[in-house]
Structure 1
Amino acid sequence: MTSRKPIAVGTNDSAQSQAAVLWAARRAHRADLPLVILHVVDDRWVAEPYPWFGTLQQAGEELLKTAAGRLEGTVPVSPDTELLTGSVGGSLAKYSKRTSMMVMGSGSGHFGGTLADRALQVATAAKVPVAVVGTQDLEGRSGVVVGVDGSPESTQAVAFAAAEADREGDELTVVYAVDVPDPIIDAGLSPAAMAELIADEERVVLSEAVAGLKEDYPDLVVHQRLETERGAVAGLVEAAAGARLLVVGSRGKGAFKRLLLGSTAHGVLKHLPCPVIITRTDAALTV
């Protein structure tokens, strides 16, 4: 390990966040890293110290105690807990600087808010890999899936996914989804040969994405999958339907480089097929 920074997981006691706490605890145990369970009391609308705010803080402390207690006898970790105040997404994203990975539940309509205004905020602003966990049954699942598109972010995602798959004895599936002209629909605009030519060119991108993996991980089984019949989000969600983990980069090679979270990462989180890790190009591969 190159870092002893903890894995941190946010909780609001929803089913999704309970699943996230358990997932984070198991990962911290395997990686021999500390675990911190976080809860945020939203104080953005408190203009003065109302008496009931102390009640919210007390409830938050009890929630953290309950979350930590659920791990007893389940995962051999001794988590720390910390109560934060502020906006939920902003507070967790700021806290991420002190961690090696942030873990979030996929969201609900309860007090923690929805996926769009919680997990997406953290995934957008965090400086470390962010894992988003749903309530899917992971029993019997295997394999790591990673999306690529030739961007530096996807190169980082492949490196993370390969290390993850090799460490856990999983097979790795590298998926590249591209829009290839349909020879029937685009008749008159692009001949059938053009569609195949484009596909051949994109297979080069896919091959480059996995170049060097055999040397780094000689025992790792790597599958390459060029998806030409559906978009990136649908292709990745389908490929990861039975997987243990899906890894995507924070951004792709789209035109909107100013966006902190790309459309593919955004879309995958909206259709979570399994736990998803969003990697960052400026984050070390430590967990």
Structure 2
Amino acid sequence: MTIHKPIAVGTNDSAQSQAAVLWAARRAQRANVPLVILHVVDDRWVADPYPWFGVLEEAGDKLLQVAAGRIRGTFQVPVTTRLLNGSVGGALAKYSGKASMLVVGSGTGHLGGVLADRALQVAATAKVPVAVVGTQDLNGRSGVVVGVDGSKEATLAVSFAAAEADREGEELTVVYAVRTPDPIVDAGLSSTTLAELIVQEERVVLSETVAGLEEDYPDLKVHQILETEKTPVDALVDAAAGARLLVVGSRGRGGIKRLLLGSTAHGVLKHLPCPTVITRIQAARNKA
């Protein structure tokens, strides 16, 4: 018998986390999997014994029950709650191994925020795909957008996004942003012919990235966008402005790859256009 892991969602009762709980509940109901609502009591600075810690746990339990009550009255999905201790990012990332997907609110959502933003911490360290949800109104939106760059991570992100779009009856837009030589700024360094050749080569990369989707998903309509004038972050944010979902692969750099997001994923989460899923290599086949 196949065991379906639940979708887990963190909440602190902010507007963003409430939106995340509702988004996760809808997804769990569609996927026919349970929902686990999580709240973390940050006890890193608490000396034991500490008389107020029980109060914090009691408040956390009450918050979880209120959140679960909203879901049980609206969605037909099994709901459980779990109170965690520790750092918020660390506790949620550790728990993620028990879930098929982890959903979090977008946090402050301010532009140019610090790297320590909790949504970024969770997306960088979780073991499964992480959905970051803001407070955008999704009514009237359509389509799934995915960013690619020719990497293995991007190919897996396309697989995830295609399965999502096909399941939801949405169209898929695959966006590849690449820098080409500027004929004025780079005068004397490259020719127009070279720029054209680069574009042609990158179109081949884009085509290869989506190769096989027609066979796997014959009813899925796929659009390809090769952007040569915008940065990857700007291209994805603009393309997903009216979308229901954006998918980006996690691509860390350097010796601590597991702890870092690629610059594109990081930038997109700081300018969140819609619910955004950061996929992981080890979880790419997850269909929840």
> After TM superposition, is the score higher than 0.5?
yes
Distance 1:220 1:93, change over 3 A: same
- Offset of residue 11 of structure 1: 0.2
> Quick one: percent identity of the two aligned structures?
75
CA RMSD of aligned residues (A): 1.7
> Which residue is 2:77 aligned to?
77
User: Is 183-192 or 123-132 further displaced after alignment?
Assistant: 183-192
After TM superposition, the structure 1 = structure 2 runs for residues 96-245 of structure 1, keeping only pairs within 5 Å, are 96-108=96-108, 116-245=116-245
Check conservation: 2:132, 2:276, Cα contact below 8 A: yes
In structure 1, how many angstroms separate the alpha carbons of the residues matched to 2:166 and 2:25? 20
Corresponding residue SS for 1:186: coil
**Counterpart in 1 of 2:44?**
44
**Closer/same/farther in 2, CA of residues 160 and 86 from structure 1, 3 Å limit:** same
- The runs of 5 or more residues in structure 1 that have no matched partner are none
Decide whether the 8 Å contact of 1:3 with 1:100 is kept in 2: no
Q: After TM superposition, which residue ranges in structure 1, 4 or more long, deviate above 2 angstroms? A: 113-117, 255-260
What is the CA-CA distance between 1:2 and the residue it aligns to?
A: 5.9
Q: Which amino acid aligns with 1:285?
A: N
Cα offset for 1:258? 4.1
Check conservation: 1:97, 1:127, Cα contact below 8 A.
yes
Q: Give the 5 Å matches for 1:24-43.
A: 24-43=24-43
Q: Distance in 2 between matches of 1:127 and 1:193?
A: 44
Structure 1 window deviating more from structure 2 (63-72 vs 168-177): it is 63-72
Q: Does the aligned pair in 2 maintain the 1:115–1:270 contact within 8 Å?
A: no
Return the TM-score normalized by structure 2: 0.94
Q: Quick one: distance in 1 between partners of 2:38 and 2:115?
A: 17
- How far apart are the structure 2 equivalents of 1:148 and 1:201? 15
How many residue pairs end up in the alignment?
Answer: 282
Greater alpha carbon shift after TM alignment, 115-124 vs 174-183: 115-124
In 2 relative to 1, CA 84–114 (structure 1 residues): closer, same or farther, beyond 3 Å? farther
Distance 2:114 2:244 in 1: 23
Return 5+ residue gaps in structure 2 as ranges: none
- In 1, the alpha carbon distance for the partners of 2:269 and 2:115 equals 8
Paired residue for 1:286? 287
Contact in 2 for aligned 1:9/1:24 (Cα 8 Å): yes
Q: CA deviation at 1:115?
A: 7.8
- Aligned counterparts of 2:192 and 2:29: Cα–Cα separation in 1: 53
